[in-house]
Chains A and B, each alone.
Chain A
Amino acid sequence: MAALAVIRRRAGRWALNGAAGVALAYILLPLIFVVWLAFFRQEIPSFPPEGYSLRWFAAILDQRKFVDGFSLSFQVGVLATGVGLLLGVPAALCLARRNFTLRGPLANLLLMPIVVPGVVLGTAMYVFQVEVENGLDVDVLGTFYALVAGHIVIVIPWVVRLVTASLSGVDRATEEAAQNLGANPWVTFWRITLPAIRPGIVAGALFGFVTSFGNLEMSLFLVGPGRTTLPIVILQYLEWKIDPTIAAVSVVQIVLIGTAMLITDRYVKLARVV
């Protein structure tokens, strides 16, 4: 009987490890192939590779549209993240701390942009911007700021969600203690609450930025002539060519985002907030 129990326990552990391995492989295999492909020497991707080279990484810099796309995506991401924080952190505070009638629906509404399909969001944004343009008689559609405005909408859910999560771990009594010791609500926020929710803010900013940087569907509706974000540049390039330049661009993105996460994780344990 005892032996049977041991076998059962081992079988259970193997089954669990096996399932985890399959899931991990499912996620990682495409990434591994993309990275591998980026180093192929031949132009047409085929297996096995004829040899390896770094020429496709050099090819990125030869094409201005990749550099410009990267630059635009970076600027939009940074700006959208900044404004998203300014709007999202107070919103999270309000949702977590205040009790009002429409709190539940409002919380769901603020998380909606990452649930709604990007194409739907893009269409809605497009129609809205056209209406605003017609109504106010100013240039909106296709401008840099209209693109940023759209991206702010997809940054906010991450900020709200992660800041709300870290707020739930803050002992309200510490804020009362600060007030009891002579700190007004403003000082209490800066000296006590903000340091306590810093991990949530950093993580929210990071994930918001990554979402904005990688966004394709919504951006397709909002970009103007001569203003193309990196994911759109990649898509347009793929319509004409399938050489490993795209794989190289992807590798650069993966490395940048991965580095950002590792650096962030040194200061704020992401596993604790996400």
Chain B
Amino acid sequence: MARLDLHGLSKRYGDFHAVREVTLEIDDGEFLVLLGPSGCGKTTTLRMVAGFIEPSAGNVRLAGQDVTQLPPWKRNAGMVFQSYALFPHLTVAQNVAFGLEMRKLPRADINKRVDEALALVRLGGYGGRLPRQLSGGQQQRVALARALAIRPDVLLLDEPLSNLDAKLRQEVRVEIHELQHQLGLTTVMVTHDQEEALTMADRLVVMNEGSVRQVGTQRDLYERPADRFVAGFVGRSTFLEGAVEAPGRFRTDGGLALACSGSGSGAKSGRGVLALRPERLQVAPAPITGLDNGLPGTVEFVSYLGALIDIHVRLSPADRLVVQIANREGGFAPEVGQSVHVSWPASAGLVFTE
């Protein structure tokens, strides 16, 4: 295992910038997740690391060596594909042995390492099967074993869980994570699923429109999102349009004056948005004392999610926000049309100026 450095990595197709100036340093043994909506450039970035796409600019260093000009078959990067890409005409053992045969290892070593890799993904005894005789989850583990058998410098995972059903996904998520820690694998995973990203990553990279918007831990992204996009993409936010009146003071277009002390609230003036996390707000029949903001409103819509309930409250003709409450026994559960008060501390308000 080794460290991976991307420097100023870019990919242009004509006038379209698929990836712009991505610079990332991934430590030995680190699990980095590239997160973003489809078309944000995360997969292109991963494929440039694997060598399937030639960058328009920038370079890729793997284990200290510049591999930018090397073809995929000369880079020691193990990749797990979204479709698993198992060789359908080869058995499980032959699939796993493929990379070792390419490295011209002696037969005895190959057999030993195939057995090890299959044992690692708990598929010992399945070596003689064909891929089509396995379930989706098992195929996924063969793909992982095949990538691990070559002892890659970096493990690349391209949406590895997207073809699994929800329950299996959770299991495999934990498995991959444990395996990664146990083996100390430098890993880069691409996903659009933020829950997947948050549970697996040591560090996350949020991308949009080809650019890196923010790099950080789960807490960094959630508590201190760098921009409006990250605030909306990682976790959920209600955005109130308006302008900064003074540091710590935001006036919405609907005329509400709100106190804020979260990230970005040091701005002195200018148009912008106030982002509020639905779960940081409280809703009650009367104002809650001790909180910086308390406003009356009317419930417009209630969305029952089981453990949680989303309540959409209109505060003014131009301002509507979402409050998420836990579905507690005997808790306050407002209904549509009811008058309520929404309260929150100033620290819950994040400001993004234009």
The residues of A with any CB-CB pair to B shorter than 8 Å are 171, 173-174, 176-184, 187, 191-192, 195-196
* Residues from 48 to 76 in B contacting A, C-beta threshold 8 Å: 50-52, 71-74
User: With a CB–CB cut-off of 8 A, which chain B residues contact A173?
Assistant: 81-83, 85
Known A-B contacts A192-B87, A195-B89, A196-B89; A177 and B81 likewise in contact (beta carbons under 8 Å): yes
* B 69-98 to A, binary, CB cutoff 8 A, 1 in contact else 0: 001111001110111011111000000001
User: With a CB–CB cut-off of 8 A, which chain A residues contact B88?
Assistant: 174, 196
Known A-B contacts A173-B81, A187-B102; A179 and B73 likewise in contact (beta carbons under 8 Å): yes
**Total A-B pairs, Cβ < 8 A:** 60
| A176 near B52: Cβ-Cβ < 8 Å | yes
The residues of B with any CB-CB pair to A shorter than 8 Å are 50-52, 71-74, 77-79, 81-83, 85-89, 98-99, 102-103, 146-147, 150
| A178 near B98: Cβ-Cβ < 8 Å | yes
A-B contact pairs, 18 of them (CB 8 A): A173-B82, A173-B83, A173-B85, A174-B85, A174-B86, A176-B81, A177-B85, A179-B71, A179-B72, A180-B72, A180-B79, A181-B98, A181-B99, A181-B146, A184-B71, A184-B73, A192-B87, A195-B89
Known A-B contacts A171-B85, A182-B150; A177 and B79 likewise in contact (beta carbons under 8 Å): yes
| A183 near B83: Cβ-Cβ < 8 Å | no
Report the minimal beta-carbon distance from A231 to chain B, rounded to whole angstroms: 38
| B81 near A183: Cβ-Cβ < 8 Å | no
Closest chain A residue, CB of each to CB of B98: A181
| A182 near B103: Cβ-Cβ < 8 Å | yes
Report the minimal beta-carbon distance from A105 to chain B, rounded to whole angstroms: 24
Q: Contacts A182-B73, A191-B98, A196-B89 known; list 13 others, CB within 8 Å.
A: A176-B52, A176-B81, A177-B79, A177-B81, A177-B146, A179-B52, A180-B72, A180-B78, A180-B79, A181-B146, A181-B150, A182-B102, A187-B102
Report the minimal beta-carbon distance from B153 to chain A, rounded to whole angstroms: 12
Closest chain A residue, CB of each to CB of B102: A182
| B52 near A171: Cβ-Cβ < 8 Å | no
User: With a CB–CB cut-off of 8 A, which chain A residues contact B89?
Assistant: 195-196
- Give the distance in Å from the alpha carbon of A178 to the alpha carbon of B146 in the complex: 10
User: With a CB–CB cut-off of 8 A, which chain A residues contact B81?
Assistant: 173, 176-177
User: With a CB–CB cut-off of 8 A, which chain B residues contact A187?
Assistant: 102
| B85 near A176: Cβ-Cβ < 8 Å | yes
Closest chain B residue, CB of each to CB of A195: B89
User: With a CB–CB cut-off of 8 A, which chain A residues contact B146?
Assistant: 177, 181
8 Å CB contact of B50 from A171, A180, A182, A196: A180
| B87 near A174: Cβ-Cβ < 8 Å | yes
- Give the distance in Å from the alpha carbon of A181 to the alpha carbon of B85 in the complex: 12
- Give the distance in Å from the alpha carbon of A183 to the alpha carbon of B103 in the complex: 9
| A183 near B85: Cβ-Cβ < 8 Å | no
Report the minimal beta-carbon distance from A242 to chain B, rounded to whole angstroms: 51
Report the minimal beta-carbon distance from B254 to chain A, rounded to whole angstroms: 51
User: With a CB–CB cut-off of 8 A, which chain A residues contact B83?
Assistant: 171, 173
Report the minimal beta-carbon distance from B139 to chain A, rounded to whole angstroms: 12
Most buried by A among B72, B82, B83: B72
Report the minimal beta-carbon distance from B228 to chain A, rounded to whole angstroms: 35
- Give the distance in Å from the alpha carbon of A18 to the alpha carbon of B201 in the complex: 63
- Give the distance in Å from the alpha carbon of A196 to the alpha carbon of B89 in the complex: 7
- Give the distance in Å from the alpha carbon of A138 to the alpha carbon of B77 in the complex: 57
| A177 near B73: Cβ-Cβ < 8 Å | no
